[in-house]
Each structure stands twice: as C-alpha cells, then as structure tokens.
Amino acid sequence: MEITGTIIKVLPLQSGQGKNGTWTKQEYVIETDGQYPKKVCFSLWGERIDGANIKKGEVLTISFDIESREYNEKWYTQINAWSAIKASEQKPVEDELPESDQLPNEPEAPGDDLPF
C-alpha cells in the first residue's frame, strides 16, 4: 500500500534489546492532502531509519505493510514502512509511449481509402 503526504511530526527514536539483538524504531506522522486530510503514524525499523533521512515538512510517498497483533485480548495495529520516497525524487508520469513502442508514420498509398 502507499500513502502520500507531508511529515508533520518526527517522534523520538526508540531502541531496545530483543531475542535477536538490539532493535531501533523511528515513528513519524504523515498528513495527507485533500478535502478531508488524514493523519497516519508509521514506523521505520533498523537501518531504514538512516537511509530515509526523513525531516518534518517533507512531502513523501510511503510504501508500507499493515499488521495487527493481539495482546491481552486487545488488538494493536502497526504500519511498517519499507520505502519512503521524497516528492523531489519521484519521476513524473509520462503520457506518451516510449519511442520504441510508438508506431512509425507510414505514408498512405493512393486508393487505400476504401471503406471495406
């Protein structure tokens, strides 16, 4: 899944010790555009934190997975981002076909305008 919006909050870095070693987690809040903007908190884990280098005010497209877990008969949902692309790094969408996919313009032969 993807969401695009502006980073409005960078939460404190969290770290701890798990059964597989030390872990780090950084949470961010992104706000979507539109008539009814939504605020969504998402997480980056481990080395993705430094690689993303996310700052407040940046416009990003976040690719993420959603996961829910039960603990003491309550459900907790987490949005784990696996990609964060800044708006300045996104490629514009082209409406035209690449040159290799375009058909060559062939001249019409005389008398080729028959309806059948």
Longest dimension (CA), the chain: 81
Note whether residue 98 is domain-resident.
no
Q: Cα separation of 3 and 38, whole Å?
A: 10
Q: What pLDDT, in 10s, does the model give residues 31-86?
A: 999 899 999 999 999 989 988 889 999 999 999 999 999 999 999 999 999 999 98
* Nearest C-alpha neighbor of 10 from the set 35, 30, 24: 30
- Cα angle value 48/26/1 (rounded, 5°): 65
Note whether residue 115 is domain-resident.
no
Note whether residue 48 is domain-resident.
yes
What CATH number did the domain enclosing 15 receive? Answer: 2.40.50.140
Question: Kind and range of the H or E element at 43?
Answer: strand 39-45
Which residue range(s) make up the domain with 59? 2-88
Note whether residue 12 is domain-resident.
yes
- Per-residue model confidence (pLDDT) at position 97: 47
* pLDDT of 10 above 60: yes
Q: Cα separation of 37 and 49, whole Å?
A: 25
Number of folded domains in the chain?
A: 1
* Nearest C-alpha neighbor of 42 from the set 57, 53, 33, 31: 31
